[in-house]
Chains A and B, each alone.
Chain A
Amino acid sequence: MPANSWTPDQPIVAIHDLHKSFGALEVLKGVSLEVMKGEVICIIGPSGSGKSTLIRCINALNPVDSGSILVEGQEVNDPAVDKLALRKKVGMVFQQYNLFPHKTALQNVMMAPLKVLKQPRGEVEKRARALLTRVNLEGKEDSYPGELSGGQQQRVAIARSLAMNPDVMLFDEVTAALDPETVKEVLVAIKDLAQSGMTCILVTHEMGFAREVADHIYFTDRGVIVEHGPPATFFTESSDPRTREFLSQIL
């Protein structure tokens, strides 16, 4: 293993010329982007434009065909990559929450630190309770996922991922499956996280939210990044006709 020469002033996630196909369907056609530590990135774009695939490649849930993904200087697109070490650094929250239904909220949050990181139970429990409080779920520690609303489940999922103390958080359309009235509570939790300095990469359809929290917005369409920029200019001064059409439909 070569010495890792990554320093915090370099991009924490650097993607270069990423290609990915599912059979004959090319989903990513040469995507490049860079995320600095502490930045909040939103990836927007029409359905099927490869947003979710892109974000899932970052923690090696999807293997890629060619190109490079560096996470803290470590190449993800390498058969010899230590996936477990990578996933300890990169947390992920899914559209469908994917909580473990046979465990309570607290057990869901505690499970990975206990079983994967082998940390002492007392310390893990203390941290897990603090995390649940942080996402406003005090009092729901002993509820099973089936007893919680969608928004509550999604916040448990965020706490579960944070319990591993990741350096980067990935959010894959985390509000898309929620009832409108519970979307806000999840967005508040993410915003709090973003403002605390966590590096976040979000795939989202919530334009207002993206505008509010993102440092940088990427617009993808048909497997390429069409345009990107800080929200202040992205929403008002976008030049590409595809971006303008998408924004006109959604805003």
Chain B
Amino acid sequence: MYSFNHQLPNSVAAASSALGSADDGKFLAGGMTLLPTMKQRLASPSDLIDLAGIGDLVGISDSGDGVVIKAMTTHAAVAGSSVVQAKIPALAALAGGIGDPAVRNRGTIGGSVANNDPAADYPAACLGLGATIVTNKREIGADDFFTGLFETALEEDEVITEVRFPAAQKAAYQKFENPASRYAIVGVFVAQTAGGARVAVTGASQDGVGRISEMEQALGGNWSADAVANIDVPADGLNTDIHASAAYRAHLVTTMAKRAIAAAG
């Protein structure tokens, strides 16, 4: 790592202002992506603004029609939360499948959502459930939040404080893992919500996480794996790498969507 200053503000406002005054500051949540990137010397922030000192950024609550997860809540806490398990079991299962146990003990929902890694799991859940990302400045719907690979609607000094997930009538997530990194080659989150069916895909597209409207429409009238079985996702615009060609990813999107729908019941 390159040298940096470590700051530990005790409020969101202080964190935001610390970032504003740093030369090239970065927020540090769980650090599960940022620290490895810095170890490889691929990032060289002047200051790490550590959000761990802010007491009121951890916790999970029942909002009646869903759950609210504060930004610094770990994946392990979400996976193990009886509230999440009861309200949105698919979300608890998704969190329990992120990385490995030690990563889940440090990694946070806010960090994952803010980072928007194109192969991360949480963005698919946010988009699939129609979550609302709450910051120190505003509330942003998931559909407007994820804007591209590692890109979000967040401003530089904007801090995610919580993510609000509405419960769905049915939901499930199916991930096809990269055999090496175990990140998603393709992950599909499906949900039957009050506003209709939602299908969100991570890992596949060159534009990052996104929805598949053709599948959502097909599921609107017929919530079954068969409804999407014949929908061929175009390979154009999908990622190609040594683990999966665009054509293979396209095939996996449909396959994982079918499996997710079946799993959702």
A in complex with B: no
Interface residues of chain A, those whose CB is within 8 Å of chain B, are: none
Interface residues of chain B, those whose CB is within 8 Å of chain A, are: none
